[in-house]
Amino acid sequence: MPNASSLIVRPLSPIAGAEVLGFDGNGPLAESEFAALKNAWHDHCVLVFRDQRFTPDGQENFSARFGALKGHILSQYLLPGYDKTLVLSNKKVNGEPAGLEDAGRYWHSDVSYEDVPPMASLLYALEIPPEGGDTLFANQYAAYENLPGNLKQRIAGLKARHMFNYGKIQAEAGSSRKPLSAEQQAQLAGAVHPVVRTHPETGRKALYVSPGFTVAIEGLPPDESESLLKELWSYATSGDVIYRHRWQPRDAVLWDNRCLMHHATTYPAQYTRHMHRTTIAGTKPF
């Protein structure tokens, strides 16, 4: 049984990410240990739990310690029998994709096109390719802090519209994605969120606009909106705010969607990458 003293948290980079060793996510977790984990998570935004043996139930139960779990609009990629576990995979089962093959190959914060976007996602690597398939994480507290004062002033109080531009993703070369059902389409109204959000637990400010899902800043003419977004994204995705996660088999990576963007990278098609994701509900950004 794990206890507080057996947990080792080691930073993976100065900007984001820490690995947790000596931890079994399937096992019991005392309130005090959980509090220690949460503090480390708030400090590092990304926690990498090494060498996990998660069953789908184990992953869902551990994730549910953080909050209620969410399914996904692309319900065809949920693990059969589990309505809260999304499969990311390039495997085929009877010629059909076993999971979402091209998730998140653009900078984004998960599901920011909903009014109440998820707090966190936990991605568990069952099979990883020997090369490629890294995940990039960009610290949006740091991105905000790096803005010049006049830019901070300019964006104070601004809001932006977020949309799931499924058609564009689907049209991209090599995507095996199917068109959305009418029911899925109906869930895609989009959402409006502050350009700078305050993390409800740390109280820190973070940029909250992404090339993947943010389509416009409210109340600005289109050309101004676009040039302002591009300027903000240059800070949001600048090399000095990025941690690159190179996966090890059985890593389970918990990231905070309220202070990070992330970006999947490609890998050679002859290799398999197979992962399970759980998604933890959040609160309305402010």
Q: Where does this chain bind ligand OGA (CB under 6 A)?
A: 88, 103-104, 110, 121, 123, 135, 262, 264, 277
Query: Applying CB under 5 A, which part among 106-114, 138-146, 172-180, 265-273 lies near Mn ion?
Result: 106-114
CA distance 270 to 159: 43
Among 104, 129, 212, 282, interactor with Mn ion by CB under 5 A = 104
Choose among ligand OGA, Mn ion, none what residue 193 binds, the Cβ cut-off being 5 to 8 Å by kind. none
Task: Report yes or no: 177 and 186 within 8 Å, Cβ to Cβ.
Answer: no
- HSE-CB at 209 with a 13 A cutoff on CA atoms is 27
Q: How far is the CB of 104 from ligand OGA (least distance, A)?
A: 2
Whose Cβ is closer to ligand OGA: residue 89's or residue 225's?
Answer: 89
**Residue closer to Mn ion, measured from CB, 19 or 110:** 110
Compare residues 225 and 279 and give the one whose CB is closer to ligand OGA.
279
The two three-digit tokens of residue 147, written as one number? 């803005």
Binding site partner of 88, from Mn ion, ligand OGA, none, Cβ cut-off 5-8 A by kind: ligand OGA
Least distance to ligand OGA, CB of residue 260, Å: 11
Question: Which of 55, 51, 3 is CA-nearest to residue 28?
Answer: 3
Residue 233 near residue 75 (C-beta atoms within 8 A): no
Residue 9 or 282 with smaller CB distance to Mn ion: 282
In this chain, which stretch among 102-110, 141-149, 190-198, 220-228 interacts with Mn ion, using CB under 5 A? 102-110
Residue 251 binds which entry of ligand OGA, Mn ion, none, with Cβ cut-offs from 5 to 8 Å by kind? none
197 dihedral zone (left: phi>0; alpha: psi -120 to 50; beta):
beta
Separation of alpha carbons 118 and 111, rounded Å: 7
Partner whose footprint covers residue 135, from Mn ion, ligand OGA, none (CB < 5 to 8 Å by kind): ligand OGA
Asked if 20 and 9 count as a contact pair (C-beta separation under 8 A), the reply is yes
- Kindly report the length of the chain: 286
Shortest distance in whole angstroms from residue 255 CB to Mn ion: 8
CB 138 within 8 A of CB 145: no
Residue 256 C-beta: closest distance to ligand OGA, Å: 13
Indicate which single residue of 33, 110, 114, 256 sits in contact with Mn ion (rule: CB under 5 A).
Answer: 110
Positions marked active-site: 108, 110, 262, 277
d(CA 26, CA 44): 22
Shortest approach of Mn ion to residue 119 CB, angstroms? 13
Residue 81 and residue 91: Cα distance in Å, rounded? 18
State which residue, 137 or 141, has the beta carbon closest to Mn ion: 137
Distance between CA atoms of residues 280 and 257, nearest Å? 10
Q: How many CA atoms lie within 13 A of 170 on its CB side?
A: 9
**Footprint of Mn ion on this chain (CB under 5 A)?**
104, 110
